[in-house]
Structures are given as structure tokens and as C-alpha cells.
Amino acid sequence: MHAHTSGKAHIFRSVVFHSLLAALASSISASDAWKPDASGDFTKEPGSAYEARMGSWEAERFGMFIHFGLYSIPAGAWDEKNIGGYAEWIQANADIPAKDYATLATQFNPAGFNAEAWVLAAKHAGMKYLVITTKHHDGFCLWPTKLNRDWNVATTPFKRDILGELSAACQKHGIRFGTYYSITDWHHPAQFISRDAAGHAPKGSYFQTRMHDGRKAEYVAYMKGQIAELIQRYDTDILWFDGDWVGWWTTDDGKDLYNYIRSIKPSIIINNRVSKRGSFKLDFGTPENETPGAALNHKWEACWTMNNSWGFKSADKSWKSPGDLIQKLIDINSKGGNLLLNVGPTEEGLIPQPSLDGLASMGEWLKVNGPAIYGSTHADLPRPAWGRITRHGAQQLFLHVFNRPADGVITVDGIQSAEAKATLLADGRELSVEAGKNRLQLTLPADAVTPPATVIALTLSQGWQPAPKTGGIALQADDKFLPAAEARISGQGPLKLEAGEHLGYWRRNGQEAGWSFELVLPGDYEVYLLCAAPAGKAGGKVELTSRHGKLVAQIAAQGKDWNDYQLVRLGTLKFPKMARESLAVEGVEKTSGAEGFMNLKGVVLRPVAK
């Protein structure tokens, strides 16, 4: 019988324990960090060393992304016209001649820049780290680099070392300092933008910069020199690469750069865009303005804008609400990810007020509910219809209720626990818990609801069994899995999500399930349905449609019952580029006499081996 402690104290003790674990992990000095053998290959780091090195970053769960640079001056408009797309892409989207874009460097003077104000905005929002664009695709450097004499902050009216002031403020306020660095560089002379006979840049030529023959080594040396400055001068803890998509940058180039960086600072954290984001997963994956539909089998951080532009865009007023932002943080953490939330300071160096307002609301919510976020991770339970679940360790769950069911009954499937204690984080009120077969239930009083997420700490006397994510079918590391829980159901009929992990009652022709997702790795994909269709009970003609083609299949007897899942191959689709994609599966014509088409756990997109 465990000693009875008050609800809050019990939770506090558990969260403190895990926070201490994370702090211990972060106390691993560079000298303790794992070092490779003579091969110098840091990607061979053993899992235990990797976990120890990544632990504190993972426990921090929430960071600030800052997009600031010359592009903050035009703020998405050029020659008095609003330019479509991201503000930091204005040079490309308006195809601004380099000499005209360079005039921005003579105007750059963010008189309102106050590093401490940025850092405190992050800290008061509950953010534990920040990542700033030290050099975006335009190649302009926010620090007095020695690697170029004419394209950095020292050559502007502002002159001050923005990175130096920001890293010092981070140090002072206990915020982890991180740095973004773009591999593609529209300014460096080794690279060029393809142009037509008239000198115009055809669509995509800024996206796919070209490397002059024989000058790649020169540019890689330039990058390595600048990265050494970011590490040795500013002690950056995170190197957040971008622009990895260019054709002249290879997986091996990325691995070489990864090893170079870790050889300088063994404890540093490097994102997967150091190489090719679709195939390289160290140290963490980086979905962008998209949250994976389920937990991933590698560490990851989703980066999101607060409106629709990374750099400040004066015309973009489409700010996400504080409630959306808080639920996004919870959703991401519940799938084992970190959230890197972006601010785009103005040309004066000020974070826009709507961003400050959203951050302040998140900070207020986290003051009360932080124990359910920091150190949290995926609970490996069916995702409930009422919200999300995070966990600390084996027996501390947090229920984040977005939508209180009409009857107030909160059901947690997949739990077998003789004893459980439920406590509202907001006021410590205890709620009674009933244990059912493989589930727990409690009633949330209407007056206890605190939008946008009411958090209940659920402490179990014993562990629980993981939910059948893919029905025992092992997926491959690079499979793109579109889970049932993320499907949008349409059409008239009883089709619905069951137990948070499969679509059932697929009984009527014409109903469909659709997914929207970020396709990171362009190429050919085998397309499969992960479905159960017992002989004599299920089957029918289904169609999978995407903008890249339609696949038709006749689902026949698959497996012995409604829980016997198989991968059914529909065919192949080609996804030409990294983009947001969508696809839908429609039950076109059910087999005569069948109860339903199938039970569907999800769609699997498997890259065709090259």
C-alpha cells in the first residue's frame, strides 16, 4: 500500500523526479559525451548515450523560433505590392535583383531590438529554448562573421552583434540558445540562381540553387567556418539546419557535416535537415506547419508559424488563437514531440503584439498545467475523442480535456489498473475513478472545465497495455503512416473511428476517409491499406484518390476476423516534390451480402527502394 499523499504533492513529486532525471541528463558535460572510435562517425552513437544527450531537450518540450533578418524590412511587400508566400522568401518570390536586395543592408537598423525582451517573452511563455535564423537563404548573417566582409550585421547601420546579445540574454535567463543555419545560400558566389535568356528566374530556381562547377568544397568550407563561429563564439546548443533540399547537397555531405559539428561540441543537438530530412533522422525530425498523425519512431520537433509567415509579414493578420496554440502544444507533446513556435520580429526588432499576446496566454496556461507538459511524452494509448493524453513515467498520466462529453464521462481505453487517483491540476480537486474492463472512467463536473484544455492528473497503481497501433503489423522506418485517428470522415453513413485507432462501420457506399499530410521525401511510393476484411463478412471495391493519381482495388477476404489486419497493396503513386499532400479512400461498392467494406487502421505509403 503506498503512503497516501495529497493529490498535488503526489503529482509534484513525480514530476520533480522526472525533471531531476532530465536535469541530470543535461548535466552531462561535453567531456562525458560519447566519442566515436577512430572512424569519427558520431552517427554510431549508442542509444543510451543518445538518450542521455537528448533527454533534457526532449523534456523541455517547447521552444521559440525566431525569423529575423533583412527580409523583416520589406515585411512581405516590394514596390508597394504585397508579395505572396513567406516574407523571408521575398527576394525569390519577387525575383528582386541582388543589387536591389542588397540595399536593405544599408537600411538595417532595428533600433527597438532588445535581446532580453525577446528572451523574457520566451521565458514567460513557458518556452525553454530558442532558435534564431543566424543566416537564412538570403545568406545575410546576424553576427560579425569573419567568413564574409560585406554581408553581415557589422556592415549595416546597426552594427551590433545580435547573436552575441541574444546568447548572453539566454545565458542570463536560463534559456537554451539555438541557431538556425541555411545550407542553400542565394548570396554566396559559389551558388547561383538559374535564369532564362531574359534574365528572369524560372519558378523553382531559387528553391533549387545551383552550385558552380568545382566550387562546392569552397562553400562547404565557408559553412564549416561559420558553424565553428556559432559554436565557439556563442556556444550554441542547437544547430537547426534548413535548405537541405538542394540537389547538390547529399546525405553523405550531411553526415560529414554532422560529424564535423559533433567533433567540435560533442554535446550539441543537430536537426535532421543537416542531411536530407526525408531519410536522415538524427538528432530529431522536423515536420513543419504540420503535426504527425501519431507518435513517430524517432525524436521530433514540429515547427509552426503563429500566422502564416515565418518572417514578419505586415499583411498577414491570420493569427492562430491562444486556444489553438495551447491545444497544438498538447497535441504535439501527446505524440512525443517538441513544439518550436515561431515569432517574426519587425524591422524595428519588436515581436508583433499578436504574437506577444498568444505567448502570454500560453505562459499563463503553463503556469498551472506545466507538470503535464514538461518531461511529458506519448502515452501509447488509443487517442480519445475528448482530447489528448500525456504521460510521465509508467504510471502518471495527464488527461487534457478539450471537449467535455455531454454526460461528463471521461473514458480512458487501454488501461488496466486496480487503483487510480484523479486530480484536477487547476484546483487540486479529486475526482472519483471507476475501473472497467481495460478502461478507466471518471466524471468531469461541468463547473471544472477550464478551456482550452482541462487537465486531470491520473496516477495509476500499475502500468497499462499499449494500444494496438498497427494491429501487430510492423511498419518500416521510412513508411509514412496515415492513421485512422487522423482521418476526416465524409459522406452519409455510420463510418466512424473506433477505440481511437481504426475506422469501423464502413457499411455504406460513397463514404470516404481523407488525410492531409506533409510529404517530405519526394519519389515513388507503394500504397497499402492496413485493413481487416474477414471472409464472408467484408469486402468491396475501394478507390484511393490523390492529385497524383487514383488507385482502385477489390477488397476481398483479408484475415479471419475484424481484428486480423493485413497490408493490402493498392499500387504505386509518384509524389514529385516535398509538399503538403492529401488523399482519400472511398468505399465505392460493397460486396453483396457483406456487412461492411473493412476495418481500416490507416494508409501506409512506403518509399519504393531506389
**Interface residues toward ligand FHN, by CB under 6 A:** 86, 88-89, 242, 288, 303, 310
Smaller CB separation from ligand FHN, 86 or 219? 86
Least CB distance to ligand FHN at residue 303 (A): 5
d(CA 41, CA 369): 41
SS3 461: coil
Instruction: Assess contact for 95 and 207: CB atoms under 8 A.
Output: no
CB 131 to ligand FHN: min, Å? 9
Name the closest residue to ligand FHN (Cβ).
Answer: 310
318 vs 476, which CB is nearer to ligand FHN? Answer: 318
User: Least distance (Å) from ligand FHN to the CB of residue 310?
Assistant: 4
DSSP 3-state of 516: strand
CA distance 162 to 135: 12
Q: How far is the CB of 74 from ligand FHN (least distance, A)?
A: 14
Q: Where are the alpha helices (DSSP H) in 386-509?
A: none
Query: Residue 450 CB, nearest distance to ligand FHN (Å)?
Result: 32
Looking at the Cβ atoms of 234 and 310, the one nearer to ligand FHN is: 310
CB of 504 to ligand FHN, least distance (A): 37
Residues contacting 48, CB < 8 A, separation 6+: none
Q: Rounded to an integer, what distance in angstroms lies between the CA atom of residue 453 and that of residue 370?
A: 12
Instruction: Using the minimum distance from each CB to ligand FHN, give the nearer residue, 303 or 399.
Output: 303
Q: DSSP letters of 154-213?
A: GGSSS-S-HHHHHHHHHHHHT-EEEEEEESS-SSSTTEE----TTS---TTTTTT-EE-T
Whose Cβ is closer to ligand FHN: residue 179's or residue 423's?
179
Largest CA distance in the chain: 81
What is the distance between the terminal CA atoms of the chain, rounded to a whole angstrom? 58
**Closest approach of Cβ 59 to ligand FHN, in Å?**
23
For residues 312 and 328, the answer to whether their CB atoms sit within 8 Å is: no
Q: Give yes or no for a contact between 69 and 75, defined as CB atoms under 8 angstroms apart.
A: no
Q: Which is nearer to ligand FHN, 183 or 422 (CB)?
A: 183
Separation between Cα atoms, residue 23 and residue 429, nearest integer Å: 30
Supply the minimum distance, in Å, between the C-beta of residue 542 and ligand FHN: 33
Measured in degrees and rounded to the nearest 5, phi and psi for residue 430 equal -90, 140
Smallest gap from residue 340 Cβ to ligand FHN (A): 8
| Nearest CB to ligand FHN, comparing residues 247 and 472 | 247
Q: Of 57 and 86, which has the nearer Cβ to ligand FHN?
A: 86
Instruction: Please state the closest distance from residue 179 (CB atom) to ligand FHN, in A.
Output: 13
State the Cα angle at 522 between 546 and 544, rounded to 5°: 20
Residue 604's DSSP bridge partners are 481, 528
The closest of 131, 135, 134, 109 to 122, measured between CA atoms, is 131
Element at 546 (helix H, strand E): strand 540-546
Q: Between 205 and 441, whose beta carbon lies closer to ligand FHN?
A: 205
Residues 6+ apart with CB under 8 A from 345: 66, 68, 72, 110, 113, 118, 312, 351, 352
CB of 323 or CB of 523, closer to ligand FHN: 523
